[in-house]
Amino acid sequence: MSKIKTAFFCSNCGYESPKWSGKCPSCGNWNTFIEEVIHKDVSQKEKQWKNDDEKNGTAKTIALNEIKSNAQERIITGDAELNRVLGGGIVPGSLVLVAGEPGIGKSTLFLQIALQMKNITTLYISGEESDQQIKLRADRLKIQNDSFYLLTETLTQTIFQEIKKLKPDLVIVDSIQTIQSPYIDSSPGSVSQIRETTAEFQRFAKDTHIPVFLIGHITKDGSIAGPKILEHMVDTVLQFEGDRHYAYRILRTLKNRFGSTAELGIYEMGADGMRGVNNPSDILLSQKEEQLSGIAIAATIEGMRPLLVEVQALVTQSVYGTPQRTVSGFDLRRLQLLLAVLEKRGGFHFGVKDVFLNIAGGLKVEDPSIDLAVLSALLSSYEDIPLPYDICFAGEVGLSGEIRAVNRIEQRIAEAEKLGFEKIIVSKYTQKAISQQSFNIEVIQMARVEELYRYLFG
């Protein structure tokens, strides 16, 4: 009998070592090495999906100018949000990793997308649910598709045999943490299994030009489960995020070899599945009959899409020794910076106040142009004076109290005008001159935080 071979893998980065070590030499993390049993049979690994004539082919070196560049047509799905995030559709032969929290709707979204594509043959591989469970979800979606096929299997050898029989145009794997390779003796979900099964699907996608979607899990700190090399192996990484207590979900691009990483898609969860939101600004703004203090509207940019979001602030007298700073959807350190600017440049005593900040709709905004709206909401709650309902803000705030310019200001102004706002406050230092005649909205340019306070409350 052959001797059982074991190796130690870093659970964070996937580094392989023949012996245990306290600190990983690759990523520097401590106590991340775990022992796994490995057994490789390279002779059979490449033969799972190839035909007999393809097995005899050998790779050879070729000059770059001898390669013919054929523009491959992308597969256009019935989901406009997914097409936008992928850069215009699914690229043939691409390997896409989709990650998100449990229960966020990953399986529902991609089952719905697969059922909507009736012009291509789709194979949905599930290692987590039974045939009946997926059938019940498909009945709830109320979409019929005769070219949709289902396979509940976890062993890659069986999966590739079924793929060879069916010859699908698209493969969806739910999820990669449940798939097991017969050439690795460790359990599914381990570092070596995730790396090996992903490598097998990568070779399959590149050799057959069939796109593969891998649905993955995330860890408790929000990162994608498995070694970091998993994200390097795939062509595109999508993050499906959102608060399960809200109806809205965001599909965000973290890596894309075939398009921009600045795009995102917005969905609304309903009883019959996910619905793409065409005008998210309209639903992210609350419809109020009366004006309330502490609310300001920010004109932000997410990817290539302008968004108007509502910023809610509450400033109250602190009853504890240390004032509270609580945020939702915003960077806490950025809030502390803005409070320091108001304390130093404006003389407001936020050091004895509790401050609570929320971005409405469960969104997480990283655009620095939201600074001006956050600052205005804080001042509104501090003075307990409502801001005018027809005004919005787009500007970054510097440490010296200056209002800094932000990019693509004309798109923000056009979005505010489309939603019926009459005024928008922007930086005076905008490099590109804004033509007032081209907009029906009043563009107010300011240079300092003191000017903003005098205009709103003075």
Q: Which residues contact 174 (CB under 8 A, 6 or more apart)?
A: 106, 107, 110, 124, 125, 126, 127, 128, 129, 215
Neighbours of 55 (CB within 10 A): 9
Could you tell me which of 455, 453, 400, 396 has the C-alpha nearest to residue 428? 396
Strands 305-317 and 236-241: unpaired
Whether residue 380 is preceded by a cis peptide bond, meaning omega within 30 degrees of 0, is: no
Beta bridge partners of 309: 298
**DSSP letter string, 166-187:** H--SEEEEE-GGG-B-TT--SP
CB-based burial of residue 101 (10 Å sphere; 0-12 exposed, 13-18 middle, 19+ buried)? middle
Q: Is 65 left (phi over 0), alpha (psi -120 to 50) or beta?
A: alpha
Could you tell me which of 446, 452, 424 has the C-alpha nearest to residue 436? 424
Neighbours of 106 (CB within 10 A): 22
The answer to the question of whether 103 is labelled as a binding residue is yes
The answer to the question of whether 168 is labelled as a binding residue is no
The answer to the question of whether 104 is labelled as a binding residue is yes
Q: Which residues contact 205 (CB under 8 A, 6 or more apart)?
A: 93, 94, 95, 211, 212
Count the helices and strands in the chain (H runs, E runs): 13, 21
**DSSP letter string, 412-451:** HHHHHHHTT-SEEEEETT-SSPP-GGG-SSEEEEE-BHHH
Q: Which residues contact 382 (CB under 8 A, 6 or more apart)?
A: 315, 348, 350, 353
The answer to the question of whether 127 is labelled as a binding residue is no
The answer to the question of whether 107 is labelled as a binding residue is yes
The answer to the question of whether 216 is labelled as a binding residue is no
Half-sphere exposure of 3 (CA within 13 A, CB side): 3
Give the residue ranges of the annotated binding site for ATP.
Answer: 100-107
Give the residue ranges of the annotated binding site.
Answer: 100-107
